[in-house]
Structure 1
Amino acid sequence: MFDTIDFQALRRIGLSQALVAQMFNLQTEPADRLMRVTEVQRDRLRLHDGEAEHVAQVWPTLRIALQMQGESLVVGDWVAARRDDSLGDVCWAAARVPPVNHLVRRDSSGLRQVLVSNVDTALLVMGCGQDFNLRRLDRYLALVRLAGVAPVVVLSKADLLMDGGASRAEAVRRHLSGQVDVVALNGQEAASAQALSPWLAEGQTLVLLGSSGAGKSTLTNTLTGLAAQATGGVRGGDEHGRHTTTTRSMHRCASGACIIDTPGLRGLQVDADEAQLDAVFDDISSLAPMCRFRDCHHEDEPGCAVRSRVPAGRLLSYHKLQREAQRHEMTVLDRQRQAAEWKARGRFAKAVSRAKRG
């Protein structure tokens, strides 16, 4: 185990009791130090020990072990860091503390990708202008709830609307039946820190999630009080910000919380099966037992208790994510059979159409 650990300094960058319990599973050397991953580059890491940042490389044994599990170190992880005089100021990340939670999505090829680890709150950032999309918000909510992370919807660029974003906030509350906290703000104003203060206590870790140009980096700079992240101006004509963030990185807020800025996610696919989606769409699953039919799919069946109480857009998100989960669980042979079936249906429809035209 570690010779000495400055718990007070490490708690300021997110060390929790649950993580301390996980540390006892590590095989470490006495001189190793506990540090947190704040940025991952191609062949280097940035680590923080509660006082300062350090550059590091991943110990080959750890890299191989993680690769065998289909994983890698991500921002938010905790590691045992080891000095190596031959590397100068660079140290080794020799072992990873098992994460308390991590946000996972599926990439375009269907493989699981861990985004960040050990997060307390996810700020789901969505612009009040043309970026406003409730169906996309449902995907982000599913992503964070599957990880057991508390979501907060942040409506950025509220200054673009005459009512300061109040109408957008009300639309989100109706869509989610008031289940999630919603905050409308202008990310460029210092008042944003006050609006988000309930989630910015010292030692808390937050992650910003949202589409490119939603204002995540602008909000990061406001909360940290530094121009730590590059930002772009709003494009003329469509109110979209310009994509600037390309890597995930963790920063210290003026309040003492840690905030992880992330690039916009393209084609967000949720890593969940049908039962897990039922659990995160609890506004739907809680009403399902009241439907007339036990196997109601909440589509066009009579006596459906869900359709009458859940907004149509929310129900569409649920159905689409359920279909995606079914496809993920299919074998290659199942997919081939489904493709052949759809092709046959297409040929039949074309034949019928030709026959009607004579």
Structure 2
Amino acid sequence: MLDTTTIEALRALGLSHFILSQLAPMEGQEPSTLWRVTEVQREQLGLQSEQGTCRARALPALQQALFAEARQLAVGDWVLARRNALGETWVHRRLAPLNCLQRRDPSGQRQTLVSNVDTALLLMGLDHDFNLARLDRYLVLAHSSGVPALLVLSKADLCRDPAARVQEVRQHLTHSRNAVLDVLAVDGTQADTVKQLRPWLGLGQTLVLLGSSGAGKSTLTNTLCEASLQPTQNVRGDDSRGRHTTTVRRLHGTAEGACIIDTPGLRGLQLDASAAELAQAFDDVQALARGCRFRNCSHGDEPGCAVRAELAPARLRSYQKLQRELARDSVGPLERRARFNERAAMGREAMAHKRSKRGEA
């Protein structure tokens, strides 16, 4: 379906053997062009291939199939498309992605953020944006998707002692073997940032920038691409909050040959992870728990708790909070209603008991 020249050209866009393997069974079918999704805006898609870029839409049949599977087209996807007699490009197939970074939206529905990513760059500003609890949440997002994470502490020029912040993060994650690939403090406006990130910017690699608004994602994108591709704004002076300069996810090519996906800051990050994926992200808790005196230790007030003795307190609080969220979100509507009715009945019983003690009817 693809000749050698086309394959080599698409490798610069992140084409992998996993995606190529899905094309072999399609030999002999009606000719299609392989594209990578670079932008999604409602029904409009931005696509790129060795032929260049174009705008497209997904066929209704594909939209219905994806809806039935609770999936959506996302930046980073590989798709097959055809042009009709009117010159319009229509996507008719989405190739299965190697991985997807997903969250739950405010209504509880699964939302795919990006697909087919090699490395997640977790950005956290060395100003008011510095927050270890948020870092732990983003780490679960990355690990639950099977994507290695690299922590980038941006705005190093605004911090008196960036090295101390780096050490603080390392101590927070000291017992975890798979937390992050590395912790880097950078000034995203400077060209030497490219040198610091070069090991992850190889030809055909795909990176996604994740972090809150104002963390410096768009600034870093412009530096890595050596172009003003994304508008940037200053954060608020009192709390370093950003202004959502980036409104859609977009894939760009860097000067080093990698692809980078800039994303809007997430106002809320409700995780879409299982109990097993949460445990994997907090492998330090699981490893230390083997030394607890009690097998069913909750790492609360029990004596002989190895986790509480060794783990950074902030890290343990993150784990316990995410555990509670997971338990709450895993409860179905019927069980939620039953629990509500049970609490309401207990409340009525307590009120009746009080009235009887006061001699009321």
Task: Give distance in 1, aligned partners of 2:5 and 2:316.
Answer: 49
What residue in structure 1 maps to residue 9 of structure 2?
Answer: 9
The alignment partner of 1:302 has SS state of: coil
Task: Give distance in 1, aligned partners of 2:346 and 2:190.
Answer: 56
How big is the shift at 1:271?
A: 0.9
The alignment partner of 2:94 has SS state of: strand
How big is the shift at 1:41?
A: 1.0
The alignment partner of 2:309 has SS state of: coil
Cα 1:53–1:106 shift into 2, 3 Å = same
What residue in structure 2 maps to residue 355 of structure 1?
Answer: none
Partners of 1:5 and 1:33 within 8 A in 2 = no
What residue in structure 1 maps to residue 359 of structure 2?
Answer: none
Task: Give distance in 2, aligned partners of 1:82 and 1:105.
Answer: 31
Partners of 2:235 and 2:241 within 8 A in 1 = yes
Partners of 1:12 and 1:50 within 8 A in 2 = no
The aligned amino acid for 1:58 is A
Residues 187-217 of structure 1: CA deviation (Å, up to 9, x unaligned):
1111111111111111000000000111101
The alignment partner of 2:307 has SS state of: coil
Task: Give distance in 1, aligned partners of 2:312 and 2:300.
Answer: 13
What residue in structure 2 maps to residue 159 of structure 1?
Answer: 157
Residues 208-257 of structure 1: CA deviation (Å, up to 9, x unaligned):
00001111011001100111111112323333443201100000000000
Task: Give distance in 2, aligned partners of 1:182 and 1:330.
Answer: 36
Identity within the alignment, %: 54
Partners of 2:218 and 2:232 within 8 A in 1 = yes
Task: Give distance in 2, aligned partners of 1:292 and 1:234.
Answer: 48
How big is the shift at 1:85?
A: 2.5
Q: Map residues 241-320 of structure 1 onto 2, 5 A cutoff.
A: 241-320=242-321
> What TM-score do the two structures reach when normalised by structure 1?
0.91
Partners of 1:9 and 1:51 within 8 A in 2 = no
Task: Give distance in 1, aligned partners of 2:129 and 2:340.
Answer: 34
Partners of 1:235 and 1:241 within 8 A in 2 = yes
Moved more, 252-261 or 108-117: 108-117
Which of 157, 165, 169 in structure 2 is aligned with 1:168? 165
What residue in structure 2 maps to residue 57 of structure 1?
Answer: 57
Task: Give distance in 1, aligned partners of 2:190 and 2:159.
Answer: 15
Q: Is there any run of 5+ residues in structure 2 with no aligned partner, and where?
A: 354-361
Q: Map residues 45-84 of structure 1 onto 2, 5 A cutoff.
A: 45-84=45-84
Cα 1:22–1:222 shift into 2, 3 Å = same
Task: Give distance in 2, aligned partners of 1:348 and 1:121.
Answer: 55
Task: Give distance in 2, aligned partners of 1:16 and 1:85.
Answer: 31
Task: Give distance in 1, aligned partners of 2:215 and 2:115.
Answer: 22
Moved more, 17-26 or 193-202: 17-26
The alignment partner of 1:306 has SS state of: helix
Q: Map residues 91-106 of structure 1 onto 2, 5 A cutoff.
A: 91-106=89-104
How big is the shift at 1:30?
A: 4.0
What residue in structure 1 maps to residue 129 of structure 2?
Answer: 131
How big is the shift at 1:320?
A: 1.1
Match status 1:112 vs 2:113? no
Partners of 1:78 and 1:96 within 8 A in 2 = yes
How big is the shift at 1:348?
A: 9.5
What residue in structure 2 maps to residue 196 of structure 1?
Answer: 197
**Aligned-CA RMSD value:** 2.4
Q: Is there any run of 5+ residues in structure 1 with no aligned partner, and where?
A: 353-358
Cα 1:321–1:23 shift into 2, 3 Å = farther
Partners of 2:143 and 2:277 within 8 A in 1 = no
The aligned amino acid for 2:128 is Q
Task: Give distance in 2, aligned partners of 1:130 and 1:342.
Answer: 40
Cα 1:159–1:58 shift into 2, 3 Å = same
Aligned length: 351
The alignment partner of 2:91 has SS state of: strand
The alignment partner of 1:85 has SS state of: coil
What residue in structure 2 maps to residue 145 of structure 1?
Answer: 143
Task: Give distance in 2, aligned partners of 1:26 and 1:326.
Answer: 43
Q: Map residues 30-49 of structure 1 onto 2, 5 A cutoff.
A: 30-49=30-49
**Structure 1 runs of 4+ off > 6 angstroms?**
344-352
